[in-house]
Amino acid sequence: MTKKQKLSAEEQALFRSLMTGTRRLSQDTIIHKPQRKKIGEVPQKRLLSEQRDASHYFSDEFQPLLPEEGAVRYVRSDVSHYELKKLRRGDYTPEIFLDLHGLTQKQAKEELGALIAACRREHIFCASVMHGHGKHVLKQQTPLWLAQHPLVMAFHQAPKLFGGDAALLVLIEVEEWLPPELP
């Protein structure tokens, strides 16, 4: 019997006789909404602490060995060079942007530290750092600072779409995020 066919009068009478003494149930299905952690405001003290922790790696005295010719690039020794190639081609799209225009070197270091901390906290893998051209101070220093940080996996001069030679695409090491298990 298909759903479109109606029951005959005889079948309906048989059903009613079998159901005598029963009562109709009311719909009592409860739909539980998934419990989600509220991503509220992070306390200011925690933000400052994360920023300080992330920016203490940046030194002006240490000069990491970066390639002299070609685009500005770096890949950590334990990371595949294929990641650098994907950055160069623009396979990664940055999820967060940091603009360092008009900042002092000290402010730029603090902002880079805050960016790395925010990427870790929000599980953001790819970021764009726009240092601009200017007097070439931040353009020269930013790659040197980023190469010193242990959570920076790789960076490459951004494709034209994301700022060209006035910006860097940075891959940040983030912890694997697993949704909380339901009880």
The full set of domain ranges for the chain reads: 71-172
Between 40-49, 68-77, 97-106, 158-167, the lowest mean confidence (pLDDT) is in: 40-49
Between 40-44, 109-113, 155-159, 172-176, the lowest mean confidence (pLDDT) is in: 40-44
pLDDT tens for 45-69 read 777 777 666 667 777 777 777 887 8
pLDDT tens for 28-46 read 777 777 666 555 666 777 7
Q: In what order do the strands lie in the sheet with 126-130?
A: 73-75, 152-157, 167-172, 126-130, 96-99
pTM: 0.66
Greater model confidence, 67 or 177: 67
Q: Which residue has the tokens 């009592």?
A: 28
pLDDT tens for 112-123 read 988 998 898 888
Any residues with CB less than 8 A from the CB of 161 and at least 6 apart, and which?
A: 90
Q: Which residue has the tokens 């298990």?
A: 181
When pLDDT is cut at 50, 70 and 90, the band that residue 3 belongs to is low
Answer whether residue 182 shows pLDDT above 50: no
pLDDT tens for 10-23 read 998 998 898 888 88
Note the pLDDT of residue 7.
83
Greater model confidence, 155 or 31: 155
Note the pLDDT of residue 154.
94
Q: Give CA angle at 176 (112, 179), nearest 5°.
A: 120
As assigned by CATH, the class of the 71-172 domain is: alpha beta
Average pLDDT, the chain: 83
When pLDDT is cut at 50, 70 and 90, the band that residue 165 belongs to is confident
DSSP one-letter string for 3-32: TTSPPPHHHHHHHHHHTTT--PPPP---PP
